[in-house]
């Protein structure tokens, strides 16, 4: 019986360094990191006519944890938020870097930083850890949403350091299935309230009887006011 290709590569040592390509052109350490991201809890981000939002599953299972201490959506600046999937400790380093970049821009230029500048710098950092030896790739994907000139922006950076701008996207568990559903249901004229309803319905479909609203967190930024609003649990359903 022939051994699967990925097992052959492991035995031959192609997965021992992030800088070593396998014979069929793969960086196995990077692919392992991508699998780690898909084990993480899910987030859905969406650009709407009146702003942008991220809805995230905090996936809290331990009743001993104080819910308020387990934040899945982070504030980068007064006009930018971010969510992560994968190894949260890895992502925390990237979040700290993003917050630092934002503050440096305000001190240097006396103006808020653009969302794309943050995702670009974070993606540069992530790419370096796939190119140089002695370190492993960051096991985290980053979703960043912000407001620029009263319009919402949404970017996602994967473990390779690649990034794109999206109208809507998902990271974490079941990301491919959620994206397929988003392609069917997303429309450019959606408001935040309607978009949140679609995102919440998708989570209900993915989790079926395991869905619990108390484990979810919503953060949205309205385009005109530019104000960040955070809702949790049943407060999200009341927004609908």
In this prediction the pTM is 0.90
* Per-residue pLDDT at 59: 85
The per-residue pLDDT for range 20-36, each reduced to its tens digit, is 888 888 888 888 999 99
Say if CB 217 and CB 84 are below 8 A apart: no
* Per-residue pLDDT at 131: 85
CA distance linking residue 84 with residue 157, whole number of Å: 10
CA distance linking residue 62 with residue 154, whole number of Å: 31
Say if CB 168 and CB 181 are below 8 A apart: no
How much of the chain, in percent, has pLDDT values that exceed 90? 69
The per-residue pLDDT for range 160-195, each reduced to its tens digit, is 999 999 999 999 999 999 999 999 999 999 999 999
Distance, first Cα to last Cα, the chain: 56
Out of 89-93, 147-151, 211-215, 224-228, the most confident range is 89-93
Q: Residue 93 pLDDT > 60, yes or no? A: yes
Q: Region 125-130: what's the mean pLDDT?
A: 92
Domain range summary for the chain, segments of one domain joined by +: 25-177+187-239
Q: Which fold has domain 25-177+187-239?
A: 3.60.20
Phi, psi of 52 (to 5 degrees): -145, 150
Low-confidence winner among 20-29, 111-120, 190-199, 227-236 (lowest mean pLDDT): 20-29
Confidence of residue 1 (pLDDT cuts 50, 70, 90): very low
CA distance linking residue 67 with residue 32, whole number of Å: 30
Say if CB 131 and CB 76 are below 8 A apart: no
Q: Region 83-93: what's the mean pLDDT?
A: 95
Low-confidence winner among 19-33, 69-83, 111-125, 131-145 (lowest mean pLDDT): 19-33
DSSP E strands in 149-182: the ranges are 151-157, 163-165, 168-171
Q: Residue 55 pLDDT > 90, yes or no? A: yes
The chain-wide mean pLDDT, for the chain, equals 90
* Per-residue pLDDT at 27: 83
Q: Residue 50 pLDDT > 50, yes or no? A: yes
């Amino acid at each position: 019986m022939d051994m699967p290709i990925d097992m052959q590569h492991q035995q031959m040592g192609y997965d021992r360094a992030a800088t070593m390509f396998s014979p069929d052109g793969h960086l196995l350490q990077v692919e392992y990191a991508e699998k780690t991201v898909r084990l993480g809890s899910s987030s859905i981000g969406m650009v709407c006519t009146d702003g942008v939002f991220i809805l995230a599953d905090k996936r809290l299972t331990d009743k001993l944890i104080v819910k308020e201490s387990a934040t899945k959506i982070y504030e980068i600046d007064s006009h930018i938020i971010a969510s992560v999937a994968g190894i949260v400790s890895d992502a925390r380093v990237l979040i700290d870097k993003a917050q630092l970049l934002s503050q440096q821009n305000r001190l240097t230029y006396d103006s808020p930083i653009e969302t794309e500048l943050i995702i670009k710098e974070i993606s540069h950092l992530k790419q370096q850890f796939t190119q140089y030896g002695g370190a492993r790739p960051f096991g985290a994907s980053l979703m960043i949403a912000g407001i620029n000139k009263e319009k919402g922006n949404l970017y996602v950076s994967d473990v390779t350091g690649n990034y794109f701008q999206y109208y809507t996207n998902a990271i974490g568990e079941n990301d491919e299935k959620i994206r397929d559903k988003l392609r069917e249901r997303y429309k450019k004229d959606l408001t935040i309230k309607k978009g949140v309803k679609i995102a919440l319905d998708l989570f209900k479909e993915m989790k079926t009887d395991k869905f619990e609203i108390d484990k979810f967190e919503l953060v949205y930024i309205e385009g005109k006011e530019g104000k960040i609003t955070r809702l949790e649990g049943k407060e999200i359903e009341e927004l609908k």
